[in-house]
């Protein structure tokens, strides 16, 4: 069994950084899965030791080195079975395991609600895209059709209108419908700028802004190492927000005309998927940190939350930032991380801290 440590350097790409896996074993909190040079899965554990770096071990060796919770044994197996290497696939693996009940009935309910919310978001997003296509092609009919969208007759008229639009665009009706459906799947997690409900990733960007503002307000009233940690967290959150906002701007510009995407599908569909995927990677790892902070109420809890958050902060990989605009800020922020490292495992027994396990499980009930 081989283990590797690596220097305190930024990974090059999101894939090299890996996707966050929501383990409940504290030492594995926010560890990441990625593939190694042999195309096999490995895990990057950022809190394995008191040093500033991280430990990388083969995925199959995790159970040999660390005492896992029962939930995490199943999650470990599910990630491996799915070969989950991106935020979306890892999330689906985590939700599947959450439904097993090993982390408690509240987690089962939260996972069920998340999956139901995904289906609702897909349906709403599809409707929003269809109506936008009609609005672009038949602006006089769009409002009337929108009022009828919940009735069977109205839905049939919408379908007839879409087929008429496809005919005018010289596209096969079935191909037109398939492209719109694929566009819906590619965009629902972000959602459109004009949708009545924010997509999950767009909402997470908003929550990241609220998280940053909350910690900034907290730090402005204190002078301590915790305040320094808070300022550092705010810097990185704002840096991520800046880049995520630009990605959202590009995404919204692309999706603003779904009709043009359908017409130029071979080119524009890839661009849309690319921006949506990039946003998912940018916010990957932030949600559990937001939940850690929002669940802390008392002063001592907030200080402990910051001590837990700082070693787990997700830095943007070197090649994923604009070299002219963001590279220096990115490197400067990453250089500060070595100040604060904290372990969350009792190395005398090798067993997870039961209180931390419980807290991590509770955070899973607020997953989105």
Segment among 67-71, 161-165, 179-183, 308-312 with least mean pLDDT: 161-165
Q: How far apart are CA 330 and CA 321, in angstroms?
A: 8
Q: Is the pTM of this model over 0.75?
A: yes
225/85: higher pLDDT: 85
Q: What is the DSSP string of 129-166?
A: HHHHHHHHH-HHHHHHHHHTTTSHHHHHHHHHHHHHHH
Query: Can you tell me the distance from the alpha carbon of 58 to that of 139, in angstroms, rounded to the nearest whole number?
Result: 57
C-alpha dihedral sign at 267, 279, 54, 85: negative
The pLDDT of residue 309 is above 80: yes
The whole-angstrom separation of Cα 294 and Cα 285 is 15
**What are the tens digits of pLDDT across the range 9-33?**
678 899 999 999 999 888 888 899 9
The predicted-structure confidence for 153-187, as pLDDT tens digits, reads as follows 767 777 777 778 877 877 788 888 888 999 999 99
Question: What sign for the dihedral angle of Cα 227, 233, 238, 241?
Answer: negative
pLDDT band for position 49 (cuts 50, 70, 90) = very low
CA distances from 311 to 171, 173, 337 (A): 53, 52, 7
User: Higher model confidence: residue 288 or residue 134?
Assistant: 288
Give the alpha-carbon dihedral of 289, 120, 277, 215, to 10 degrees: -20
pLDDT at 26: 84
Residue 197 has pLDDT above 60, yes or no: yes
Longest Cα–Cα distance of the chain, Å, equals 73
d(CA 298, CA 70): 31
Dist CA 203 CA 217 (whole Å): 21
pLDDT reported for residue 327: 74
CB 362: neighbour CB atoms within 10 A?
A: 16
pLDDT at 104: 77
Q: Which two tokens stand for residue 182?
A: 């694929």
Angstrom distance (rounded) from CA 134 to CA 259: 9
Nearest C-alpha neighbor of 244 from the set 216, 213, 281: 281
Average pLDDT of span 132-143? 77
**pLDDT surpassing 80 at residue 355:** no
> Percentage of the chain with pLDDT > 70?
83
Give whole-number Cα distances, 366 to 98, 114, 313, in Å.
12, 10, 19
Which 3 state secondary structure label does DSSP give 236?
Answer: helix
pLDDT tens track for 271-297: 999 999 999 999 999 999 999 999 998
The pLDDT confidence band at residue 349, using thresholds 50, 70 and 90, is: very low
Q: Tell me the two tokens of residue 51.
A: 């040093």
Cα–Cα distance for residue pair 42/61, rounded to 1 Å:
9
Q: What is the pLDDT of residues 75-118, one digit of tens each?
A: 999 999 999 999 999 999 999 999 888 777 888 898 899 999 99
Angle at CA of residue 22, ends 189 and 183, nearest 5°: 15
Of the candidate ranges 116-120, 268-272, 316-320, the one whose mean pLDDT is the lowest = 316-320
The angle formed by the CA atoms of residues 198, 199 and 203, to the nearest 5 degrees, is: 70
User: DSSP assignment, residue 368?
Assistant: -
On the question of pLDDT at 72 being above 90, the answer is yes
SS3 92: helix
Phi then psi for residue 33, to 5 deg, are: -105, 140
pLDDT at residue 236 in the model: 94
What is the pLDDT at residue 39?
A: 93
In contact, 286 and 314? CB cutoff 8 Å: yes
CB-CB contact of 200 with 122 (8 Å): no
- Rounded to an integer, the average pLDDT of 211-225 is 90
Give the number of other CB atoms < 10 A from CB of residue 119.
10
Tokens encoding 316: 């943007």
CB-based contacts of 291: which residues, under 8 Å, 6+ apart? 363, 366
| Calpha distance 44→16 (Å, rounded) | 10
């Amino acid at each position: 069994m081989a283990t590797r440590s690596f220097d305190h350097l930024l990974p090059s790409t999101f894939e090299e950084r890996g996707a966050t896996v929501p383990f409940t074993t504290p030492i594995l909190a926010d560890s990441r899965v990625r593939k190694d040079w042999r195309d096999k899965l490995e895990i990057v554990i950022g809190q394995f030791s008191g040093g500033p770096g991280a430990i990388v071990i083969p995925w199959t060796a995790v159970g040999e080195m660390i005492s896992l919770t029962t939930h995490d044994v199943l999650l470990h197996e599910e990630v491996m079975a799915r070969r989950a290497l991106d935020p979306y696939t890892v999330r689906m693996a985590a939700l599947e395991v959450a439904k097993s009940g090993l982390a408690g009935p509240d987690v089962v309910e939260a996972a069920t609600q998340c999956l139901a919310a995904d289906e609702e978001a897909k349906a709403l997003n599809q409707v929003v895209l269809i109506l936008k296509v009609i609005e672009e092609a038949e602006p006089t009919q769009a409002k009337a059709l929108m009022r009828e969208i919940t009735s069977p007759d109205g839905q049939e008229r919408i379908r007839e209108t879409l087929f008429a639009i496809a005919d005018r665009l010289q596209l096969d009706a079935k191909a037109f419908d398939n492209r719109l459906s694929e566009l819906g799947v590619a965009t629902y997690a972000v959602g459109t700028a004009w949708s009545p409900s924010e997509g999950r990733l767009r909402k997470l960007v908003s929550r990241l802004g609220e998280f940053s503002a909350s910690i900034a307000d907290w730090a402005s009233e204190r002078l301590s190492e915790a305040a320094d940690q808070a300022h550092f967290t705010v810097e990185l959150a704002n840096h991520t927000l800046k880049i995520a906002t630009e990605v959202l701007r590009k995404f919204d510009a692309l999706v603003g005309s779904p009709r043009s995407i359908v017409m130029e599908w071979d080119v524009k569909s890839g661009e849309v998927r690319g921006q949506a995927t990039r946003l998912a990677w940018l916010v990957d790892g932030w949600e559990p940190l937001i939940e850690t902070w929002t669940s802390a109420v008392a002063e001592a809890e907030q200080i402990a939350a910051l001590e837990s958050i700082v070693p787990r902060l997700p830095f943007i990989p070197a090649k994923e930032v604009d070299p002219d605009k963001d590279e220096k800020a990115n490197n400067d922020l990453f250089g500060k991380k070595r100040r604060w490292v904290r372990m969350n495992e009792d190395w005398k027994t090798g067993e997870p801290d039961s209180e931390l396990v419980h807290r991590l499980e509770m955070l899973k009930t607020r997953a989105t």
